[in-house]
Chain A
Amino acid sequence: MNAQKPIIPADLSQMSDRELRKLELSIARKYSGQVPWIAVIWAFGNLACWLSLWPLVFLNILPLWAAFPIATINMALVYLPTHEAQHDIIARPGTKLRWLNELVGHATSWMLLMPFQVLRVSHLDHHRHTNDPELDVDITSSASGPWHAIWNAVQGRQPNAKRNQDYLASLTRNGREDLIVLSLLYRIGFIAILGTLAWNGFAMEALLLWWLPYQIAITYIVFFLSWAPHHPATHQTRYTNTRSWKSAVGNIGSMGMQFHIVHHLHPYIPLHLTPAAYREMRPILEARGCRLGEI
């Protein structure tokens, strides 16, 4: 972390918008600027663990029923390190470790069948247009409650889902039509790998080590990273489009998303530092009229 703790006045009501902003930024900067090595270790450790499941299962060292839940956890853990890389948190452009930032993104996002650049372009678009019914690529995850959110997450993966069209529109809007072809190649590659495995007698392995873990993980990721922190997805201003909330499964179980509001306000803060930044920033967020839960 970068600096000493800024002194927050007891009464923030007398502070101007500019003063509040300055104070908020001084806290945010304190929690940024360091390489989040935990995300790097997480990314490659998780990748190595998932890849190792394949030979372990093929060689009958690990039973498939035991490998399946591990693969599902691996799949659920893929997204957050690539998310750090999407925001250049590991290393900004032009810095010495930039290659590592890009490596983390590219080396892991393929497990979720998405090119890293597609995730980056569309996710940054989500930040620009959060909760905009026309422009937010994640707006289809909005739902009236948790069961509805799970159902919507499943529906978002259907061939004719609006979510697919929203992602294509985002790429087009950002002048990255080239990534549409790459996305399609990832899909074709996935089907080709699954098909090759399946027609060579490894259908159950392909099903339980990749396809089903992917389906479960994406539902989980959309639920906790997209639906829960933005619910009810009707606010569009900087300080209200995301919320803090108390998760029934805790901060780890919800992948750190209880403090997602800090991420949207200051996307350069590493995930593992958002709880501390949130606690320090909370009086300012209250003064800003943010939607804060009992946390």
Chain B
Amino acid sequence: MERALKLVAALLPIAFAFAFLVPVFDQGMQALGINAPFGLSTLTLAVIIGGGWGLVAQVTGRWI
């Protein structure tokens, strides 16, 4: 149980990124009328930006 909780706690940054940051970027770009470059969809770009940021936070332990 303790190990499972520690694992969940350790994965919170990446979970936050995919649960929240990705749709925030996606819907934020749509609301502001920003198109993704290279023919990408806003969701794909959001996954790249939000997921990438979450991965960095997961590895370094810092969002900023």
Contacts and interface: CB of A to CB of B under 8 A. Distances in A.
B55 interface: no
Contacts of B22: 198
A201 B53 CA distance: 21
A169 interface: no
Given A191-B20, A195-B20, A158 B64 contact: yes
Contact of A184 (B9, B23, B26): B9
Given A158-B63, A159-B61, A187-B12, A203 B19 contact: no
Interface residues of A, number: 20
A203 B24 contact: yes
Interface in B11-35: 12-13, 15-16, 19-20, 22-24, 26-28, 31
Given A181-B5, A184-B8, A159 B28 contact: no
B3 interface: no
A211 interface: yes
B57 A159 contact: yes
Contact of B61 (A158, A188, A207): A158
Contacts of A191: 12, 15-16, 19-20
A202 to B, nearest CB: 8
Interface size range of chain B in the complex: 20 to 34
B7 to A, nearest CB: 11
A207 B8 CA distance: 23
Given A159-B57, A184-B8, A203-B26, A198 B20 contact: yes
A204 interface: yes
A206 interface: yes
Contacts of A159: 12-13, 57-58, 61-63
Interface string A129-158: 000000000000000000000000010001
A191 B64 CA distance: 19
Contacts of A187: 9, 12
A203 B20 contact: yes
Nearest to A158: B62
B20 to A, nearest CB: 4
A199 interface: yes
Contacts of B60: 160
A194 interface: yes
A160 B12 CA distance: 11
A1 interface: no
Contacts of B12: 159, 187-188, 191
A158 B53 CA distance: 13
A276 interface: no
A172 B61 CA distance: 22
A205 to B, nearest CB: 10
12 contacts: A159-B58, A160-B61, A187-B12, A188-B12, A195-B20, A198-B19, A198-B23, A198-B24, A198-B27, A201-B27, A203-B23, A206-B24
Interface of A: 154, 158-160, 181, 184, 187-188, 191-192, 194-195, 198-199, 201, 203-204, 206-207, 211
